[in-house]
Structure 1
Amino acid sequence: MKKGIKNGNTYLIIGFIVMAILFYSSSQSYEEQSQIGLLMALFKNEPLKDWLSKISFVYAGSEVSIQAKGYFAFIEFFVRKFAHFGTYFVLGGSFCLGLFPKLNSLALAAFFGWMAATGYAGMDEFHQMMTNGRTPLFQDVMLDSIGALTAVILCWLIIGLRQKRVL
C-alpha cells in the first residue's frame, strides 16, 4: 500500500479539496449555479413527467413538486440534494479514513470524521447566508450530515470486517 494512503494523508488532502470546492460553490449565487439550461437540453422531452407528477412533499417549508416548481426545477432540486449528500459522503469518508491511521482508533476516527464534516456543513450554510442569492437551510445541514454519516458507517464496516479478516 502506498505511504500516502497508509498514513491517511491522501484521504485528508481529498477532504480538504472537497472543502475548497464546497467553499467556492457556496460563494456563487443560485443563478450562477443553476443547471436548468443543461437539464432542458438533456431532458427536452421531459421523460417520466407523468410518473414524477405524482410526487409532492415539503422541504424546508416549501412544496417540492412539478406542479409547484416546474419539471426542470423539480429535477434540479434532486440533483442539488444528491450533490449535498454526495459531497459530504466523500468528505466524511475522507476524514474518517484520513484520521484512522493517526488516531489508531476506528471509533474516534469515525466520530471525528463525522463531526468535522457536519461542522463544516453548518459553516458552509452560514457562508451561504452571507452570499447574495443563497438561502441557508438547516435541512441541508442534516442532509449533509447524513451523507457523511453514511460514509463513516460504511468505512467502519469495511475496516472492521478487514480487521477481523472477513474481507
Structure 2
Amino acid sequence: MKKIIPLLILLIIVFISSGQTPEQQSLVGTLEKWLPNKPFESFLSHFHIPYWGILVSIEERGYYPFVEFLIRKGTHFCYFGMIALAVYAALPRFKYRTLSAAILTMLFAIADEFHQSLTSGRTATSQDVMLDTAGAITGLLIWKLIKTIKQRKFAKK
C-alpha cells in the first residue's frame, strides 16, 4: 500500500490541475514580474512549434504566453515521467513491468485529457497525450539506464 501513495498524490495533483480554467492557471503575470527584460527573446523568437493545428511562437502569442507555453509543455513531459516512475514502483516485479508502467501512464494521460475537456476553456489534444507518453517513456528509460549503470559498477567491485 505504501508504494501506491506517491502515485495517488501525483494523480490527485493532475486531477486538480486539469479541473482549473486557463485563467486560474495563468503564469503570465508572474513571468512579467520575474522576467521584466524578456531575456532570451531573440533566441526564442526562432522557434515555431506546431501544436493543435497552429505554429506557436512569440509572434503568434507574444513573449510571456510563449514562455508560459514552453513551461507548461515541459512540466507535462517531466510530470508524466514522474507518474510513470510512481506507477513502476507501485507495480509488482514481473517481466513486462516497464512496458506496463508506460501503458498505464498513457492511459492516465488519456483520462487527464478527457477530464480537461470537461473544464471550461480547456480542450483535450492527442498531442498532449503523446507528449505525456513521451515523458513517461523517457522517465522510465532514464530509470533503467541508472539501474544498469549501478548494476555494472556493483558487478565490477
| 1:133 partnered with 2:121 | yes
User: What does residue 18 of structure 1 align with?
Assistant: 10
Q: How many angstroms does 1:15 deviate by?
A: 1.3
> Any unmatched runs of 5+ in structure 1?
1-8
Q: How many equivalent pairs are there?
A: 155
Q: How many angstroms does 1:163 deviate by?
A: 4.8
| 1:110 partnered with 2:95 | no
Structure 1 Cα separation of the partners of residues 2 and 142 of structure 2: 19
| 1:47 partnered with 2:39 | yes
TM-score normalised per structure 2: 0.90
Distance 1:13 1:46, change over 3 A: same
> Any unmatched runs of 5+ in structure 2?
none
After TM superposition, list the pairs within 5 Å mapping 1:63-78 onto structure 2.
63-78=55-70
The secondary structure found in structure 2 opposite 1:58 is strand
The secondary structure found in structure 1 opposite 2:96 is helix
The secondary structure found in structure 2 opposite 1:63 is strand
Q: State the identity %.
A: 34
User: What does residue 133 of structure 2 align with?
Assistant: 145
Structure 2 Cα separation of the partners of residues 18 and 112 of structure 1: 18
The answer to whether the Cα contact below 8 Å between 1:114 and 1:145 also exists between their aligned partners in 2 is yes
